[in-house]
Amino acid sequence: MNNNFKSGFVTIIGRPNVGKSTLMNHLIGQKIAITSNKPQTTRNRIQTVYTDMEKGQIVFVDTPGIHKAKNKLGEYMVNVAEKTLNEVDVVLWLVEPSNFIGAGEQHIIEKLQRVNTPVILIINKVDTVDEKEKILEYIDTYRKVYDFAEIVPLSALRGQNTEILTDLIFKYLPYGPQFYDEDTITDQPERQICAELVREKLLTCLDKEIPHGTAVEVTKFSERDDGIIDLEVTIYCEKDSHKGIIIGKKGAMLKKIASAARTDCEEFLGCRVNLQCWVKVKADWRDNEFMLNNFGFKQQPNR
Ligand code: GDP
Ligand code: MG
């Protein structure tokens, strides 16, 4: 038994696109939360686990951005994010390298003022700042608006100054038990992560209005004797026209999406993956069955 073992929960907050998923992926060293340059790609709380057998265990909760809700799903995401602030041991707040504290940041400051959880401010993307003195200015700007436990400038993408972060987090964690096995990196089922990886490709390959109306479901996940994983995924979209766009000319877009997703799934699962993607319009998806067959994407049997 290691009596100096610490453990606790950490949430990463910040406006969409600030680099939360990138940071978490970098810390964990494997691609788990999906990243893209379109906002609001993270719908679920994704727990990942960082274990250092000498120091302790950090359980990360990736939150949707805290912002003003525009619809029911948005409302749900905001509530999840706010509740999390009270439940965790440390909050990591990521901001852009800037002196400008906008309405979104003000909103977060108001939320933070209502909790006692220590907050570590991370000024991310410092690789984009040419004059390093500027970074000191940003630190000063933020220091004036909230009593942060720590302020850390870093680049999640380039891995600059990220190595000190885990030690700073441990500083604020209580002594406690090991929650997860040391090999565990996430409590999300592998199949859900694969669905998220497909969704990420929809986001990066398509115009933004279409992916936000899509859902991805893994309908088959099975391992063959030779270790290959058969993965079948259904992409649900809202309109026939969207389905057409997702499939693309002669199925080219769906092939592109599936091929990029397969590469990531193979990397994540560490084995070869046979990925098949289906596209369905939720209301009336059967209308275009012949079209899918035409393009070589067999329609799934009616379930
Ligand atoms: P999230 O919405 O907060 O989860 O942001 P993501 O992690 O999805 O990142 C959004 C975009 O910012 C992606 O294109 C990232 O590659 C980029 N990004 C994240 N961290 C950095 C960084 O440190 N430097 C630079 N230059 N870009 C970054
Ligand atoms: Mg994200």
Ligand 1 pocket: which of 43, 92, 138, 157 to mutate (most atoms within 8 A of CB): 157
Q: How far is CA 191 from the centre of its chain?
A: 15
Work out the angle at residue 37's Cα, subtended by the Cα atoms of residues 109 and 230, and round it to the nearest 5 degrees.
120
Residues with CB under 5 A from ligand 2 (ion): 20-21, 42
Handedness of CA 69, 70, 73, 75 (dihedral sign): positive
Ligand 1 pocket: which of 21, 35, 92 to mutate (most atoms within 8 A of CB): 35
Question: Ligand 1 pocket, 203 CB below 6 A?
Answer: no
Q: Of 152, 154, 105, 151, give the one whose Cα is nearest residue 129.
A: 154
Q: Does residue 41 carry a pLDDT above 60?
A: no
Ligand 1 pocket: which of 17, 20, 22, 158 to mutate (most atoms within 8 A of CB): 22
Nearest residue by C-alpha to atom 24 in ligand 1: 125
Residues 215-234: what's their mean pLDDT?
Answer: 87
Question: Ligand 1 pocket, 42 CB below 6 A?
Answer: yes
Q: Does residue 279 carry a pLDDT above 90?
A: yes
Q: Of 303, 99, 133, 146, give the one whose Cα is nearest residue 220.
A: 303
**Strand locations in the chain (E):** 6-13, 46-52, 56-62, 90-95, 119-123, 150-153, 215-223, 229-237, 273-281
Nearest residue by C-alpha to atom 13 in ligand 1: 37
Question: Ligand 1 pocket, 36 CB below 6 A?
Answer: yes
With cut-offs at 50, 70 and 90, classify the pLDDT of residue 43: very low
**Rounded-to-5 percentages of helix, strand, coil across the chain:** 40, 20, 40
Compare 32 and 58 and report the one with higher pLDDT.
Answer: 58
The minimum-distance atom of ligand 1 relative to the CA of 35 is 8
Å from CA of 158 to ligand 1 middle = 10
Work out the angle at residue 212's Cα, subtended by the Cα atoms of residues 211 and 215, and round it to the nearest 5 degrees.
75
Neighbouring C-alpha atoms within 13 Å toward the C-beta of 157: 13
Residue 217 is predicted with a pLDDT of: 84
The minimum-distance atom of ligand 1 relative to the CA of 128 is 26
Residues 169-174: what's their mean pLDDT?
Answer: 96
Q: What dihedral angle (degrees, nearest 10) is formed by the CA atoms of 39, 42, 191, 195?
A: -20
**Does the reported pTM lie above 0.95?**
no
Residues 53-71: what's their mean pLDDT?
Answer: 72
Handedness of CA 231, 188, 96, 106 (dihedral sign): positive
Residue 106 is predicted with a pLDDT of: 92
Between CA 126 and CA 134 the distance in angstroms is 10
Q: Within the chain, what is the greatest distance between any pair of CA atoms? A: 64
Residue 3 is predicted with a pLDDT of: 78
Contact 81, 64 (CB under 8 A): yes
Share of the chain above pLDDT 70, in %: 80
Helix ranges (DSSP H) in 16-70:
20-28
User: What is the residue-averaged pLDDT of the chain?
Assistant: 82
Q: Does residue 101 carry a pLDDT above 90?
A: yes
Å from CA of 92 to ligand 2 middle = 14
Looking at the DSSP assignment, which residues form a beta bridge with residue 233?
Answer: 218, 277
With cut-offs at 50, 70 and 90, classify the pLDDT of residue 277: very high
The bound ligand whose nearest atom lies closest to the alpha carbon of 19 is 1
